[in-house]
């Protein structure tokens, strides 16, 4: 899972930490920002901290491609509550003894009520002797991807939003963090529900702290590139370039990450010039993707372009890559090498960020 680079995002993380210990505050925090601003990285970073503090820090991330049913979300949270807190476990076990099949067959709304909300309400009513610094914090990442390709019109998404509205009726000791893009249906739900907002500004609204964080990230990545390429000067590429890229990123971390991935493949001034070209709009991730693909594929033959369309199209729309195994291995390797700036690390062929899928 992604984590914030040490020393970055401290202004945002400190606000989240403060909220998790403030039981006079609303029990929901909505972290909202445009794509690529680092919402998921922040969510996974705070989840790891909360887990170390024995406050669960359980995180569930929606994925637009998989279209995860919200019942999976609440089953996951119910299991984690039962694993960590005896009071919740006792209530959940008692419910299952009455009807063992309900956990498998119930709707998402029934799961939410019987296995999440009801156990928490009973815990609160019995005044269980659990220190405040042990109360649970649950995290829903990428709420805007709930509902799959159906988006805001999907019934699953409407169900989850209704559950979130009901969460506000629970004790302020039971915290829920939600990250999402700014979308109308989500905004409407929060406009009528008590919550604490945390905006991550980008573009003209980017904060000085976020710009400093991106600068620190860019400096770190260039240091790693220089270490891996002894032929480069120790101070490459220089402060002016770092400052220029920081400004161009406009608070969008995925812009900086993609740009550095592109440079890392062939370290040198040529690729830096591609990124710093005057026609590339600041913070425009789609324009950057277009630049990366155009430069990387400029010498391809027609068949290589066809292979690219076949591979990427299948990955975007299908869960299995096996149907493409009749493609020559060399063609597959060439395309993967070209796509490296936008691919996630690891053996699985997947894109590093949803914004690239949106771009395609």
pLDDT digits (tens, 9 = 90+) for 103-162: 888 999 999 999 999 999 998 887 666 777 889 999 999 999 998 878 888 999 999 999
Using the predicted structure, report yes or no on whether residue 45 has a pLDDT greater than 80. yes
Q: Report the pLDDT value the prediction gives residue 72, as an integer from 0 to 100.
A: 93
Q: Nearest 5°: CA angle at 250, between 245 and 253?
A: 80
**pLDDT of 8 above 50:** yes
Which stretch of 90-94, 112-116, 255-259 has the lowest confidence by average pLDDT? Answer: 255-259
The CATH number that domain 10-200 falls under is: 3.40.50.300
59: buried, middle or exposed (CB in 10 Å: 19+, 13-18, 0-12)?
buried
What residue has token string 């096996």? 322
pLDDT digits over 324-336, tens only?
A: 445 566 666 666 6
Report the candidate in 143, 145, 191 with the shortest Cα–Cα distance to residue 168.
Answer: 191
Using alpha carbons, select from 205, 168, 219 the residue that is nearest to residue 26: 168
pTM of structure: 0.82
Q: In what order do the strands lie in the sheet with 28-32?
A: 56-61, 137-141, 175-180, 28-32, 196-199
Domain ranges of the chain: 10-200, 208-359
- The residues near 254 (Cβ < 8 Å, ≥ 6 apart) are 35, 36, 38, 285, 352, 353, 355
80 strand-pairing partners: none
Is the pLDDT at 300 greater than 80? The verdict is no
**What percent of the chain shows pLDDT beyond 70?**
79
Please say if the pLDDT value at position 99 is more than 50.
yes
Tell me the mean pLDDT in the region 24-29.
98
Can you list the positions of beta strands (E) in 129-242? 137-141, 175-180, 196-199
Task: Enter the tokens of residue 232.
Answer: 């480069």
DSSP 8: S
Q: How far apart are CA 80 and CA 56, in angstroms?
A: 8
The angle that helices 285-296 and 253-265 make with each other, rounded to 10 degrees, is: 10
Across the strands, what pairs with 199? 32
Check whether 94 has a pLDDT greater than 60: yes
């Amino acid at each position: 899972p992604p984590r914030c680079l040490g020393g970055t995002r401290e202004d945002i993380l400190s606000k989240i930490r403060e909220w998790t210990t403030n039981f006079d505050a609303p029990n929901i925090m909505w972290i909202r920002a445009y794509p690529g601003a680092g919402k998921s990285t922040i969510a996974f970073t705070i989840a790891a901290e909360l887990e170390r503090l024995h406050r669960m820090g359980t995180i569930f991330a929606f994925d637009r491609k998989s279209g995860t049913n919200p019942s999976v979300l609440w089953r996951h949270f119910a299991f984690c509550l039962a694993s960590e807190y005896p009071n919740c476990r006792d209530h959940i076990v008692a419910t299952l003894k009455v009807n063992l099949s309900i956990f498998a067959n119930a709707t998402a709304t029934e799961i939410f009520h019987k296995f999440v909300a009801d156990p928490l309400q009973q815990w609160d009513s019995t005044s269980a002797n659990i220190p405040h610094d042990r109360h649970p914090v649950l995290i829903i990442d990428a709420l805007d991807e709930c509902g799959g390709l159906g988006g805001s019109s999907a019934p699953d998404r409407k169900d989850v939003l209704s559950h979130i509205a009901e969460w506000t009726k629970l004790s302020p000791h039971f915290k829920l963090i939600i990250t999402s893009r700014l979308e109308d249906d989500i905004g409407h739900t929060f406009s009528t529900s008590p919550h604490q907002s945390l905006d991550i500004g980008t573009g003209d609204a980017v904060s000085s702290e976020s710009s400093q964080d991106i600068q620190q990230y860019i400096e770190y990545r260039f240091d790693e590139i220089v270490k891996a390429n002894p032929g480069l000067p120790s101070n490459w590429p220089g402060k002016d370039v770092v400052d220029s890229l920081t400004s161009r990123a406009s608070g969008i971390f995925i812009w900086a990450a993609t740009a550095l991935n592109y440079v890392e493949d062939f370290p040198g001034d040529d690729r830096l010039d591609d990124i710093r070209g005057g026609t590339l709009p600041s913070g425009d991730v789609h324009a950057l993707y277009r630049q990366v693909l155009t430069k990387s594929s400029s010498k391809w033959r027609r068949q290589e372009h066809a292979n690219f369309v076949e591979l990427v199209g299948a990955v975007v729309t299908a869960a299995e890559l096996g149907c493409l195994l009749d493609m020559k291995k060399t063609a597959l390797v060439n395309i993967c090498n070209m796509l490296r700036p936008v691919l996630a690390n690891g053996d699985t062929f997947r894109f590093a960020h949803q914004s690239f899928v949106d771009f395609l």
